[in-house]
Chain A
Amino acid sequence: MEQSSNITHKYLRAKKKFPNVWCPGCGIGIAMGAMIRAIDGLGLQKDDVAVVSGIGCTARIPVYLDFNTLHTTHGRPLAFATGVKLANPKLKVIVVSGDGDLLAIGGNHFIHAARRNMDITCILVNNYIYGMTGGQYSPTTPLTKLASTAPYGMIEQSFDPVELAKASGASFVARGTVYHASQLSRLMSQAIARPGFSLVEVISNCHTQYGRMNREGSAVKMIMWQKEHAVPATVASKMTPEQLSGKFVVGVLHDVQRPGYVDEYKKIIDRFRAADEEKLGEVVTSG
């Protein structure tokens, strides 16, 4: 089997200046590596992949990748990605985003992309905080935890991105961690291969902001926390809510087969192609 680092290098932009913007020990690099291996494993051509992001630490992923890359505005990557996908449906469109970008300022776009089952794979790196701007609380910061804008502890209820995506209509939803890097890659691979809207939530660590403020230790310690608190979906189904308290479930959490938006719209286009053009033309022109 090819060395993991060899695979990674094949998909990085050699001319782009490294090192990257992330803090040493950040989980985003692991998530990016998992995504690269998933794409490589699926045998996708670089030209056929578009990676779209918004603003934040995770949103800096595309600049390093040798795909068609679009670094957009804060919270809007799913809306940009919708246009990319519809204008060129043969592209595999992947959105990489953080919890603040996707669920706060981009929350409306998130639920609607899921609702219309737009053919996009969304990779959400959840580190429970705004890292780039200095540790402000995000929609996933857990109750009582500290952030620079929650100096007395978080009092707002947090979003569960998995439940939000399911309720909004996503067809495939999974959760992994940067500790379980191989599983993460497999989950991403499944998500990318699927039509419709798919979400992979990646539990990650921001030791620089979240970890420091909440005294959760080094990057290594925070990543070990993921190992200790992740419960595979197969095991979780046999556990009581009490046993699951304080833990989180990883694996494929939602999987329904239904046609994606692109195929649904194509049916309309094909109806016109098949019909008598002149006749349809008249009908529509008068309407």
Chain B
Amino acid sequence: MPEAIKLYKTDQPVLMQGNEACGWGALAAGCRFFAGYPITPSTEIAELLARNLPRVGGHFIQMEDEIASIAAIIGASVAGAKSMTATSGPGYSLMQENIGYAYMAEVPCVIVNVQRGGPSTGLPTKVSQADTMQAKWGTHGDYYPIVLAPSSVKECFDMTVKAFNMAEIYRVPVTLLTDEVLGHMREIVTLPEPSAVNVSNRARPVDPPEWYKPFEITPDYRSPMASFGEGYRFHLTGLTHDESGFPTAKPGEIKAKLDKLKLKIMRHREQITEIRSDLMEDAHIMVFAYGSTARAARQAIRIARKKRFKVGMVQPLTIWPFPDDKIAPFLEQVDTVVVPELNQGQLIGEIERLSRRQVKVVPLQRYDGELITPAQIVDVIKEEHA
């Protein structure tokens, strides 16, 4: 019956916010549990799901803080529900402890971080991209995150669906990194029917319970996941554990576990990562931009092309794992890369690493709560072209 419910308008273009698109994307992907705590500028996601989750038989709950929110979505996922939370910088910081738990216990879930200025309380209503490295290194220990960065309202929908799919396929927490502008900006979009959305579900065990190893090291390092209540009665812990899920102190088993966490992501980097390139065929200058900054970059290269500058852009939709193999060929081709970012220089480090000092890497950083404008990018292109 829930499938018969018309979730959102699909027959016509609709004006909506990025945060709304994110909420509808979650429902289309099969999200049936959301736990969250109010925080600007993410709250519209929670509000939409509070209204709509009971319509599809799911649960919404407002927890006492962000620590509890991420804990609850992990618990719900263990019991079989696709689950999500949404927050901004301060809440994302609080969640780091249990995000680490989800890496270790290999529990799929989705965390939306609608970025605002930091550090600390920072700029609650202003845009930023300063959580880019936190999304990679936020919690302690070694682990390999999947982090997606949309740049439009439609991409907010699509990337939320992808975040769920990646979480389910690789049994990891996935962060969707949007920002205040994307979250609150309205665009006209036509959303697909939920039945037309490509949805992946976690692999279920085929072995009988007595043979089941919840963390079995398979050839592709991914292990099927049973849900609580299905007869498998397995154990999950944040302690380093063996393939059966029980704590271990054996060096061989410890290394095998950490290798598994790494290789299940890094061996599938090709399938996980996604980039978009524009006007790169003959470009000598490349603008490398993600999230809301990519919008300004797209406009900037069009303006610059009119002035006959040979410039194009590459936008990573997956920022972690960094799409090395997809970006490297462009670095062979260009002389200069311009990296606009709404922070003091975070993802630029990856471009510097990949370019091995063979390409000039030019920063364009803004961290005053305002967007980088197309004109600012054009100015840098002009300077580099001269």
A-B interaction: yes
Q: Which residues of A contact B (CB under 8 A)?
A: 13, 15-16, 46-48, 50, 52, 62-63, 66-73, 76, 79-88, 90-91, 108-109, 112, 265, 268-269, 271-273, 277-278, 280-282, 284-285, 287
Q: Is B263 an interface residue (CB 8 A)?
A: no
Given contacts A47-B231, A83-B83, contact A287 B51 (CB under 8 A): yes
Which chain A residues border B199 with CB–CB below 8 Å? Answer: none
Q: Whole-angstrom distance from the CB of B94 to the nearest CB of chain A?
A: 11
Q: Is B247 an interface residue (CB 8 A)?
A: yes
Question: Contact at B235–A62, with CB atoms within 8 Å?
Answer: yes
Which chain B residues border A83 with CB–CB below 8 Å? Answer: 33, 35, 71-79, 81, 83
Which chain A residues border B52 with CB–CB below 8 Å? Answer: 284
Which chain A residues border B78 with CB–CB below 8 Å? Answer: 70, 80, 83-84, 87
Interface residues of B in 76-101 (CB under 8 A from A): 76-81, 83, 97-98, 101
Question: Contact at A47–B98, with CB atoms within 8 Å?
Answer: no
Selected A-B contacts with CB under 8 Å, 7 pairs: A46-B233, A70-B236, A73-B98, A76-B98, A84-B79, A269-B57, A281-B55
Which chain B residues border A268 with CB–CB below 8 Å? Answer: 54
Question: Contact at B230–A47, with CB atoms within 8 Å?
Answer: yes
Task: Indicate with 1 or 0, residue by residue over B6-18, a CB within 8 angstroms of chain A CB atoms.
Answer: 1111000000000
Given contacts A47-B233, A88-B228, A272-B54, contact A73 B101 (CB under 8 A): yes
**How many A-B residue contacts, CB cutoff 8 Å?**
160
Bound state CA distance, A269 and B60, in angstroms?
A: 11
9 closest Cβ contacts across the A-B interface?
Answer: A83-B75, A79-B71, A83-B76, A87-B79, A83-B72, A79-B68, A87-B81, A87-B76, A68-B228
Bound state CA distance, A76 and B234, in angstroms?
A: 20
Question: Contact at A50–B79, with CB atoms within 8 Å?
Answer: yes
The residue that A109 contacts in the complex, of B8, B64, B101, with Cβ under 8 A, is B64
Which chain B residues border A76 with CB–CB below 8 Å? Answer: 67-68, 71, 97-98
Which chain B residues border A13 with CB–CB below 8 Å? Answer: 235
Which chain B residues border A52 with CB–CB below 8 Å? Answer: 75
Q: Whole-angstrom distance from the CB of A168 to the nearest CB of chain B?
A: 11
Question: Contact at B80–A281, with CB atoms within 8 Å?
Answer: no
Which chain B residues border A112 with CB–CB below 8 Å? Answer: 63-64, 68
The residue that B229 contacts in the complex, of A48, A80, A282, with Cβ under 8 A, is A48
Question: Contact at A86–B235, with CB atoms within 8 Å?
Answer: no
Q: Whole-angstrom distance from the CB of B65 to the nearest CB of chain A?
A: 7
Q: Whole-angstrom distance from the CB of B164 to the nearest CB of chain A?
A: 15
Most chain B CB within 10 A, of A47, A84, A268, A272, is at A84
Bound state CA distance, A62 and B235, in angstroms?
A: 8
Which chain A residues border B7 with CB–CB below 8 Å? Answer: 281, 285
Question: Contact at B67–A86, with CB atoms within 8 Å?
Answer: no
Given contacts A108-B64, A268-B54, contact A87 B8 (CB under 8 A): no
Which chain B residues border A47 with CB–CB below 8 Å? Answer: 229-231, 233
Q: Is B227 an interface residue (CB 8 A)?
A: yes
Which chain B residues border A69 with CB–CB below 8 Å? Answer: 233-236
Q: Whole-angstrom distance from the CB of A276 to the nearest CB of chain B?
A: 11
Which chain A residues border B71 with CB–CB below 8 Å? Answer: 72-73, 76, 79-80, 82-83, 109
The residue that B6 contacts in the complex, of A15, A46, A278, with Cβ under 8 A, is A278
Most chain B CB within 10 A, of A52, A88, A268, is at A88
Which chain A residues border B1 with CB–CB below 8 Å? Answer: 273, 277
Bound state CA distance, A87 and B35, in angstroms?
A: 11
Which chain A residues border B101 with CB–CB below 8 Å? Answer: 72-73
Q: Whole-angstrom distance from the CB of A259 to the nearest CB of chain B?
A: 16
The residue that B8 contacts in the complex, of A62, A67, A265, A285, with Cβ under 8 A, is A285
Considering only CB atoms, which chain A residue lies closest to B210 in the complex?
A15
Q: Whole-angstrom distance from the CB of B185 to the nearest CB of chain A?
A: 20
Bound state CA distance, A287 and B57, in angstroms?
A: 19
Which chain A residues border B97 with CB–CB below 8 Å? Answer: 73, 76
Task: Indicate with 1 or 0, residue by residue over B225-251, a CB within 8 angstroms of chain A CB atoms.
Answer: 001111111111111000010110000
The residue that A71 contacts in the complex, of B6, B69, B83, B239, with Cβ under 8 A, is B239
Which chain B residues border A62 with CB–CB below 8 Å? Answer: 235
Interface residues of B in 185-233 (CB under 8 A from A): 227-233
Knowing that A88-B79, A108-B64 are A-B contacts, what are 17 other residue pairs whose CB atoms are under 8 Å apart, sorted by A's residue number? A63-B237, A67-B233, A68-B229, A68-B234, A73-B71, A83-B77, A83-B78, A85-B75, A87-B32, A87-B78, A88-B81, A88-B228, A91-B229, A281-B6, A282-B6, A284-B51, A285-B8
